[in-house]
Structures are given as C-alpha cells and as structure tokens.
A and B are shown apart, each in its own frame.
Chain A
C-alpha cells in the first residue's frame, strides 16, 4: 500500500509539472499567427573557412532562388493553416504547419514541400533557418518582425 502511494505521488507530481509547464507556455502555432515582415536574409557559407555575411538582397537572390517564398516580402499566417505571401505585385497562398516539438515550419504548395527550422519565435520576432545548396552549400537565415 505504501509503495502504491509513493508511486502514485511521483506520477502525480510528474503530471503536475508537465501541466504547469503547458500552462506557462504559449503554443507556437498561436504565436505564429498574424502578419510578419521580412527584415533580413543572411547567409553563412559552410564551405568557406571564414563565414561570409552578404547583403540581404544578394542573399535572397542566391539562397531563395528556387524557393516558393522567393518573391515574398510579407507573410500572413492564418489559423486554418493558410499562409498568404505578399510581394511587389505578387500573392501566393500556401499551406503551413508546425512539426516536431514546435521547431519545424512546413510549407506546402501543391506537391512542393519545404521545411524551415524555427530558431526563434517571440511575439515580435521570428527567425527561420534553412539549408541551401543553391550555387554554394550553406545555411540561410530569415528574420521577420511582426507588423
């Protein structure tokens, strides 16, 4: 009986800890919803010994060349999984979802699927990372600010 009580107490405490954490935290999906403006594109060449930071426009042209998000400047995340990309005389609707433990952003457009690493997500700032093999292997970073 004592053992059962001890085990139940440990189980209860573990569940309580997880519930407290869940109450403290905001679901990344809810944080994501809203309008975001692209601020910066950065690119670190992994095949060079020194990391080279290039200007935002050049990086966007190189790293984003083959991506669905290439022409976007504003991203609007809607709760039903709709992502509307706005650019200069350009609009495209995609489907978005967050995977893993809330660290992967999946974008779908027809049969095309792209994945981005959600490296930072706060109410005001969003940072996405992705690997690129366009022209030169490396990791690109996109920084957004909430509008």
Chain B
C-alpha cells in the first residue's frame, strides 16, 4: 500500500489504501462535526464560509477559517515534502511518516478531548485546526503516492469522476476497457468506505465520544503495519535463508533463466 509510488502501484494497492484511508477520513469528518459542529475536511465548504464571513465582516471567523484552510494546505505540503525528499533514503518510511504524524494529531485530539477539554471556543478551534492538518496530511500523501488516483478526505472529485465514468460506460468501447473498469471500482470503493466510516463514527460517537479518534488511529496503524510487516518479514526470511545457505528466490530464477538460455543456444 505504502511502499510503491506512482505508476508502479497496482490496482490492488490503490484499492487497499483508498478503502482504509477513506474509512478513516469518513470517521474523522463526522466525528468533528458531531463533537465540534464543523467539518474537518470539507475544504470547498470552508472556502464558501470564508467568502460569506468576509461579506459579513466577521474578522474572528475570517481568521479561524483562514487558519483551517492554511493548515489543510500545510498538511498536504508536509506530506508531499516527506514523499519527495525522503523517498531516496527509505521509501517506506517516507510514505509512512505523514501517516505517523496524522496518528499523533488524532491521538492528541482524542486524549485532550477525553481528559482536558473544557469546551471553550479556543480549544474547539485548536482541536479542529489539528484535525484539518491531519486530513491535509492524509489527502496529500494518498494523492501524491498514487499519482492523484486516490483522494480520500472529500468526495467532490470522486463523485464527478464517477459521473464521467458512468457516462463513458454508455459506449461499449469504453465499457470494455479494463483500466476504466478498475477506476470505477476504486472510486466506488472509496465512496462506500467513506460512507461506512462516517456511519460507524456517527453510531460510535454516543458510546465512545472522543475515543473515536483512537479507533481511527488503529485503522491508520493497520495501514502502516501491513506494509511494514510485509517488508520486514521478507527481510527477516531473506537474512535467515542466507545464514542457512539457502539461495534467495530471485537467484534461483536467474539460475533457471541462464540454464534455459544455454539449452536454447
């Protein structure tokens, strides 16, 4: 999910990343709406609100909404910064770092809300700011590593793309194209995962309150752990095999290819 970049990613990689991160985004967005009465990833809506507050001349609200928009931008900026600057050293950790930062943000919101929150306006706005930064991180990361195929924190683009795809499917030549079919499956998966996350958050909110952010963190940890386990388990077995004198699988394939070539010649 996290290790591969841009065109080297498979449909399955994008599906896994898209479904899990959209589920997390749905949970966070509805959680913030229920707890703080404001969305944490509805950026188009926040721009509209900013315009309306400018018209009304409400300086306080203009400042708040501008800060939120800036933090979402900053989140996306930091995520891509990590991807492009740290990838040459270690691609997995370059891609996992934004998710780790997001987990820290969400856990701090959950813990502060559970133990320290006194419901003052400044606390509400700071906690929402942290969540907008976290959503920016997530959206920036998924969009960046998937070559803009996976965007999970808002569904405006996804719904537009689905509309375009389904209109394309009215023609047989497009309907039979595997790449378009896969794209439709990916977008439908993202939409349904987001909805599922939002519904789970809405239902869990009454029981868990701020602890829903711990649940979201678990989903994000699963994303990091899935790739980490694959990477490090593979490394572990390779090292162990080398120690025991078993040649790695790749070298066996090279050996077989050499044999075939010599027979053919």
Q: Give how many A-B residue pairs fall within 8 Å (CB-CB).
A: 65
Residues of the A chain whose Cβ atoms lie less than 8 Å from the Cβ of B68:
101
Query: In the complex, how many residues of chain B place their beta carbon closer than 8 angstroms to a beta carbon of chain A?
Result: 24
Query: In the complex, how many residues of chain A place their beta carbon closer than 8 angstroms to a beta carbon of chain B?
Result: 22
Interface residues of A in 3-49 (CB under 8 A from B): 14, 17-18, 21-22, 24-29
Task: Tell yes or no: B59 within 8 A of A by CB.
Answer: yes
CA distance A5 to B112 in the complex (A): 35
Q: Is the CB of A103 within 8 A of B61?
A: yes
Task: Tell yes or no: B143 within 8 A of A by CB.
Answer: no
Q: Is the CB of A26 within 8 A of B60?
A: yes
Identify B125's interface contact among A21, A81, A101, A106, CB under 8 A: A101
Instruction: Produce 1/0 per residue, B54-74, CB < 8 A to A.
Output: 000011111111111010000
Q: Which chain A residue lies CB-closest to B35?
A: A99
Residues of the A chain whose Cβ atoms lie less than 8 Å from the Cβ of B264:
none
Interface residues, chain A, with chain B CB atoms under 8 Å away: 14, 17-18, 21-22, 24-29, 81, 97-104, 106, 115
Tell me which of B13-21, B114-122, B178-186, B249-257 binds A.
Answer: B114-122
Residues of the A chain whose Cβ atoms lie less than 8 Å from the Cβ of B62:
21, 25
Q: Is the CB of A27 within 8 A of B60?
A: yes
Residues of the A chain whose Cβ atoms lie less than 8 Å from the Cβ of B122:
27
Residues of the B chain whose Cβ atoms lie less than 8 Å from the Cβ of A104:
37
Q: Is the CB of B38 within 8 A of A22?
A: no
CA distance A28 to B70 in the complex (A): 22
Q: Is the CB of B65 within 8 A of A101?
A: yes
CA distance A21 to B174 in the complex (A): 52
Q: Is the CB of B121 within 8 A of A29?
A: yes
Task: Tell yes or no: B246 within 8 A of A by CB.
Answer: no
Interface residues, chain B, with chain A CB atoms under 8 Å away: 36-38, 49, 53, 58-68, 70, 118-122, 124-125
CA distance A123 to B141 in the complex (A): 45
CA distance A103 to B66 in the complex (A): 15
Distance to closest chain B CB from A107 (angstroms): 12
Identify A18's interface contact among B61, B67, B124, CB under 8 A: B67
Residues of the B chain whose Cβ atoms lie less than 8 Å from the Cβ of A102:
60-61, 64, 121, 125
Residues of the B chain whose Cβ atoms lie less than 8 Å from the Cβ of A100:
36-38, 124
CA distance A25 to B54 in the complex (A): 13
Q: Which chain A residue lies CB-closest to B63?
A: A21
Residues of the B chain whose Cβ atoms lie less than 8 Å from the Cβ of A81:
118-119
Residues of the A chain whose Cβ atoms lie less than 8 Å from the Cβ of B53:
101
Give me the 3 closest cross-chain CB pairs, A-B, nearest first: A25-B60, A21-B63, A25-B59
Known: A21-B62, A25-B59. A101 touches B70 (CB 8 A): no
Residues of the A chain whose Cβ atoms lie less than 8 Å from the Cβ of B58:
25
